[in-house]
Chain A
Amino acid sequence: MNTAPPAVSLDRVTVTFPSRSAGHAAYTAIADVSLAVADGEFLSVVGPTGCGKSTILNMIAGLLTPSAGSVSVFGEPLRGLNRQVGYLFQADAVMPWRDVLRNVVTGLEIRGMAEAERTRLGRDWLARVGLIGKDHLYPHQLSGGMRRRVALAQMLIVNPRVLLMDEPFSALDVQTRLMMENELLDLWNADRKSVVFITHDLEEAISLSDRVIVLSAGPASRPIGEFIIDLPRPRDVAEIRLTPRFVDLHTSIWSCLRPAVLEGYRQSRETA
């Protein structure tokens, strides 16, 4: 286990966006970030709004090239798009013109799988994410929670080795959110892929993860704290929040996160 390369590793990565107009300085989203995600690890990244959390995910996905430093995936330096990841976006990314089943099997269709086979697998996944019988509905006919499930199945069906999730449940109401978090943990428990989970919700981060990394306020964010979450699994995300160990972890992570949040808040008030 110790000799295996990490699923994802960032080595002293900096991302600077060129200024949009002359006279404005270039914007450095993250500076000198190094982090590694072990194979099978559930890692959460928390930080104040606008601290470059999504930048980290986009870089791991290969949608963004770092200005300095390097990204490697299972020991190989990343070039171009990362074909080993599944990405659950914060915004709706399902295709509105495809029904539920065809959305879910998109990745298989791209890989050239025969239609009968992919339909069978697609139905299988619809059952797993609780969308039985919804095959032929279109995304606009679904609730926000159901659309998330479609996106989840669409991502998992191609069996990616690393899952990237960008505040995937932030648009859901609290109850739906807890349900989805538990379902995510169940699905993850089945085959323990590596996960990088971005959130601004500390409770969500603790209840889901093996490890939580805290980012400083932007610009030029970097990790300022790292916490191992030694809560027993399997977990129920609602119940675990009541345990003393959870409260301890929450207290210590919050004391690290709080200054960053205050700093982020101060900045957002100044620019507003």
Chain B
Amino acid sequence: MAMTASHGFTFRVTALRLVLFGGFLLSWHVLTATDILPAFVFGQPLLVFGQIVDWFWSGKIFLHLGVTILETLLSFAIGTILGLVAGLWLGLSPFAAQVADPFLKGMNSMPRVVLGPIFAVWFGLGIWSKVWLGVTIVFFLVFFNVFQGVREVSPTVLANVRLLGANRRQLLRMVYIPSAMSWVFASLHNAVGLAFVGAVVGEYLGSSRGVGYLILQAEGMFNMNAVFAGIIVLTGCAFVLDQIVTVIERRLLVWQQR
């Protein structure tokens, strides 16, 4: 990595990235404009861009984007809290962990997306069927991380704090939870991405709002440009969420070596 320190090297990397990206857009444009590739199937970059601008300019996107983000954040928050609580509880209670083990393994092996239709029946076509779909995905990710984290708390640190007089509640607050938090954060990047997947897949399966709904609607009308535009908006949004997690992580985990 020492090479990245050189100024010329950084410049060459950036330049090559721009060339690659520009080349991709250009060839997409040329191939579809000259009908070598059917624009009907592959869309056209300028029209995709135009669609994105139109969505934001008219404000039409904000309702849908807001719904998708709300679903993502709710499933992320609920899944993380449930995963943290369950992970701490089972991590500290070997008996409960032993009892729950086969159920957890079984449920974790199940592809959770198949629950989508059932949740649509249970929770309706509003946001909650999407939220719970996301929760089932996020929960297990956070749960397994916390469970592992609790079991790997340094026995020396634990013995030390006990000898300083801590009771069970103080141990939880001073040792287990802060220690588990670093494991939670290790899973948060994935969790945000998966919460997003839960929301969008839920919207595909049946909804009247959300970016997933927009894409589904556009696909129904064979408007490939809008489909691509929706995908790009979702990607950008996921990227921003991931950056936000990084910032929060830096704030909360200042104690970690980097």
Contacts and interface: CB of A to CB of B under 8 A. Distances in A.
B174 interface: yes
B165 A95 contact: no
A86 B255 contact: no
Nearest to B254: A138
A106 interface: yes
A97 B163 contact: no
A1 interface: no
B161 interface: yes
A95 B163 contact: no
B166 A110 contact: yes
Contacts of A98: 174, 178, 255
Interface in B206-258: 254-257
Contacts of B254: 138
Interface range, B side: 20 to 34
Given A81-B163, A85-B163, A110-B170, A97 B156 contact: no
A27 B241 CA distance: 54
A138 B162 CA distance: 21
Nearest to A106: B164
Contacts of B257: 140
Query: Which secondary structure dominates chain A's binding surface?
Result: loop
A86 B162 CA distance: 11
B165 A111 contact: yes
Interface in A139-162: 139-140, 154, 158
Contact of B255 (A87, A106, A140): A140
Interface in A46-94: 61, 63, 81-83, 85-87, 89, 91-94
A94 B163 CA distance: 12
A20 to B, nearest CB: 16
B174 A95 contact: yes
Interface in B141-162: 154, 156-157, 159-162
Interface range, A side: 20 to 34
B31 interface: no
A219 interface: no
A89 B160 contact: yes
A107 interface: yes
Contacts of B160: 87, 89, 93-94, 154
14 contacts: A63-B159, A83-B165, A87-B160, A91-B156, A93-B154, A93-B157, A93-B160, A94-B160, A95-B157, A95-B174, A97-B178, A97-B182, A106-B164, A140-B255
Interface of B: 154, 156-157, 159-166, 170, 174-175, 178-179, 181-182, 254-257
Please name the 6 residue pairs, one residue from A and one from B, whose CB atoms are nearest each other, closest first: A93-B160, A107-B164, A97-B178, A140-B257, A138-B255, A97-B255
Given A61-B159, A81-B162, A110-B170, 4 more contacts: A93-B159, A97-B181, A110-B166, A140-B255
